[in-house]
A and B are shown apart, each in its own frame.
Chain A
Amino acid sequence: MLANGNQNLAAAATTPYKIMLVGDGMVGKTAICKSYIRKTPYLSYQPTISETHEITVSIYKNDYVVILWDTNAGEEWNHLRIRDYNNTDCFILCYAIDNPTSLSNVETKWVPELNQYCPNVPILLVGTKTDIRTPSNRWISEEEGDALKVKVKAEAYIECSSKSIASIEGVLMRAVSIAEKYRQWKTQSSSRRLCTIL
């Protein structure tokens, strides 16, 4: 049993996790990527077409290799983006807390799309741009994000700001742990299926 688990871990370590950033335009998907890689806040304004980054995320001194897919959000990119969806281990679904439309599109557009093309793949819901929150103006609150997480059956809800590298690292660590769990579940369920057939 134990040996079996180790084997799985070893196999998991060899294939990098595929984590995909999705969400409306201009919510800060590229900022999460680039800030994490450069370890400095990223403030460009160019729309992304599609980019991949290979990064290393360490959790409790374990290093995980992650391929981070930065996608373009627009509906006009659907046909290109959907091609990249397969074999994703975790989706980081972003909305900007200052943009109610991006929040509503999580429910009306993104979750249906992800469920359609990648059923069962876990979703990490992320509220971005928390740096604009002030005590007087909370914008979209954490409570609303949590409520949405429950509603769309996301794995977790987390907030971040690309101006705080720590929060970005938090997002990616969370995503990796979710992806790891998903991989384990996948191998387990496939072996279980095998047993029932036997």
Chain B
Amino acid sequence: MDRKIPTTLWKTQLLKLVSEAPKAALVECDELGYQRFPSTSTTTSSSGDDSDQSIQSIGFGIGGELNLREREEIRRNRHHHHRHSLRRHGMLEEDDEVIVGSTSNVCSSTISADDLGLDLRCLRLSIKNPRHHHLLESSSNCSNSLESSHNSHSPSPPQPILDDDVNNDSPNGSLSRCHSSRSNNSHHHHHNEDHDELVIPSSSASSAAAAASITTTSAPPWDRPDLYLYNPFGSAFHGYLSHSQTKQRLTKDGHYLVRKRVTDDDFVLSVRFNGHIKHFIIVFDDTSGLIYIGDRDKGYEKLQDLVQSGLITLYLDQKAGPYIDLMCDLTQFNNQRNHPTFNVRNGSRHRHHHQTPPPSSHSTVITMAVNGRHNFKVSSNSSTISKHQQHSPSPSVSSLSRSSAERQRIPDLRAHSFQVHTFQELSRCQICQNFLWGLSSQGLLCKDCNLITHESCAERVITECEPQLCHIPQVFGTSLTILVKAAGGFRPPFVIEKCVAEIEKRGLHIEGIYRVSGSREQTERLKRYLEQERESADMSQFPDIHSMCSLVKLYFRILPQPLITPDVFQRFLNADELTLDIIKRDLKKLPAAHYVTLKYLLRHLHQVAQMSDRNKMNPFNLSSVFAPSLLCPSQLNMSTLKQGTTALELMIINVPILFPKI
């Protein structure tokens, strides 16, 4: 069997297919009644009257804004909670029923209960009626917003809602039509005088609303998400639709809409592809603002992108499916497809978006340990570092003696720093050799060594993250982590190693070592030389040892993150009394690369301090010279500096206890 993958041949063809895929086209909801509720919805009303029942089931649609938790709660529990929350805020009485048109757009900012109170006051247009629940259009809101949306940025005009006739499919273009259609069924709408003012054509609605005691000038509720019919999908959302209704609306390949099923509360994305309608449950994540398909990991900012990406996947699957299957079969690791979207077969990884906020593409760092094939952990929190108890050192490093504390740190430094990345062109996963599908956030890129993989393949990465020193554009000012990784993970950056070795060779006995300023010019020259020659630099040709010391201090000073990171320093500052135990404990919180480098530096300084009878640099002198270079400048003032110096002095004195040699 020919195991060669004809990848180059296929790349152009695949690209062609990508361009041929049907274009996603949104079928916008143009109906006023898009927020209608299914007639099968259960109600609390025991009334036999159909229309009354439907009103009951409409419950409260309030254009105000609750916090996310409340909103979620309301979404789950429907109108019972609505009414409850309204009453809780003292805005409604027992028999009041308020139905308010609301926006189709969701803004995700949260507003406190005080603001909510204002909003509700704004909506307090309710009418008490002993017999009928009165339907109240917040027509004032609608008219205002219609105007404002013409003038300003408001993306789509809010739609007045709630025709009580559920089965009325005709698009209601204006409030007056709304009004007339209601008038047709108005046998159960008994308007008293107040109400007549309210259900009126939009042109005069605002004055009417003013008459109905709108007492506040706070932001209008139609700019706010609708509590009840939570709709993050804007005009793509068609409300409750059945399959057959959906089919009627999607007339061409690529058309899509969002609807709700009668049976549950999920949003369903319906897409027409190849003459068939496909349905997918989609989830909108409030915190990240991303849209997810089912339980997939990949979020999209725009629905359009999601659908387009999915259509391409479907199209490729249809046209080049056998080829992709072949490719997947032939690759060593990946025998499942890596289609990011719409792939029903790929369900191996599961994440509950409701419970854990999914990673946003900008902040997520997936730290991956790579010491064993099966030893992996993906963390979606950028601040956590995956630590591994079990670790089999590779032969190249096993010769080095390490403390057990270090042993746990190793995975971090051999691990890739993957970040979700959007590749501009069709790229290949370096693990399974397959393409990275999709239009955005196709895969992961290690920001240290530029390894490209699928998210699913990242678990199979067995190579260690070893950025090549020659590929790092600049040594000074580059993050310690990258340089320590480049040095193999157990050694400090070569700049420090070289300078310290030379200083230990020549300078330990020199009076005022590290204190005497080196010549600025020499220091600059040495820096340029090291930047140029990198690891092959020969330090012996630089006679001025003080410049070398200045360079060491300079190196630490211009690190993007200080050697003793701000959070660890803050711990030192917070400690009532700095003891060795506290220092030892807090140092473990340092990033591994910082820990390795600090250990190296402190051991060196300890050696310098042991010669203090000749070089006069005792631990106190050394620490006060080094403190401003190792600590975060923004945290420094005269008092914190004293603490920092004390901590550093303690560290230099107690190097053998802090970093025992095994």
Contact = CB atoms under 8 A, between A and B. Distances in A.
A25 B512 contact: yes
Contact of B636 (A25, A80, A102): A80
B628 A74 contact: yes
Residue from B515, B546, B641 whose CB has the most chain A CB atoms within 10 Å = B515
B621 interface: yes
Nearest to A48: B624
Given A75-B553, A79-B633, A109-B520, A49 B515 contact: no
B641 A49 contact: yes
B638 A102 contact: no
Nearest to A99: B516
Interface in B498-549: 512, 515-522, 544, 546
Interface of A: 24-26, 45-47, 49-50, 73-77, 79-80, 99, 101-102, 104-105, 108-109
B454 interface: no
A51 to B, nearest CB: 10
Contacts of A108: 519-521
Given A75-B550, A79-B633, A101 B621 contact: no
Interface residues on chain B, size class: 20 to 34
B53 interface: no
B621 A47 contact: yes
Contacts of A75: 517, 520, 550, 553-554, 557
Contact of A76 (B516, B553, B645): B553
A101 B624 contact: no
A80 B636 CA distance: 8
B626 to A, nearest CB: 8
A77 B628 contact: yes
A45 B638 contact: no
Contacts of A47: 515, 621, 624-625
B563 to A, nearest CB: 12
B280 interface: no
Interface in B598-620: 616, 620
Nearest to B626: A76
Nearest to B524: A108
Contacts of B104: none
B553 A24 contact: no
B629 interface: yes
A101 B519 contact: yes
5 contacts: A25-B517, A47-B625, A76-B628, A101-B516, A101-B519
B517 A46 contact: no
Interface in B549-593: 550, 553-554, 557
A73 B557 CA distance: 15
A74 B623 CA distance: 13
B621 A46 contact: yes
Closest 5 A/B residue pairs (Cβ): A76-B628, A24-B517, A76-B629, A101-B519, A26-B512
B344 to A, nearest CB: 59
Contact of B553 (A46, A49, A74, A101): A74
Given A77-B628, A80-B637, A102-B516, 12 more contacts: A25-B516, A47-B624, A49-B638, A49-B645, A74-B553, A75-B557, A76-B629, A79-B636, A101-B518, A104-B519, A105-B517, A105-B520
A25 B550 CA distance: 11
A76 B629 CA distance: 6
Contact of A104 (B512, B521, B625, B626): B521
Contacts of A105: 517, 519-520
Nearest to B516: A26
Nearest to B550: A75
B557 A76 contact: yes
A122 to B, nearest CB: 23
A75 B642 CA distance: 18
Contacts of B625: 25, 47, 74, 76
Nearest to B616: A45
Contacts of A73: 517
Nearest to B633: A79
Interface string B15-36: 0000000000000000000000
A24 B519 CA distance: 10
A181 B515 CA distance: 35
Contact of B516 (A24, A79, A80, A104): A24
Nearest to B628: A76
Contacts of B621: 45-47
Nearest to A103: B519
Interface in B268-327: none
A178 B512 CA distance: 32
Nearest to B523: A75
Contacts of A74: 515, 517, 553, 625, 628
Nearest to A100: B519
Contacts of A24: 516-517
Nearest to B624: A47
B435 to A, nearest CB: 50
Contacts of B516: 24-26, 99, 101-102
B544 A101 contact: yes
Given A25-B517, A99-B516, A46 B620 contact: yes
A101 B629 contact: no
A105 B522 CA distance: 11
Contacts of B638: 49-50, 80
Contacts of A25: 512, 515-517, 625
Nearest to B518: A101
Contacts of A46: 620-621, 624
B515 A101 contact: no
A26 B544 contact: no
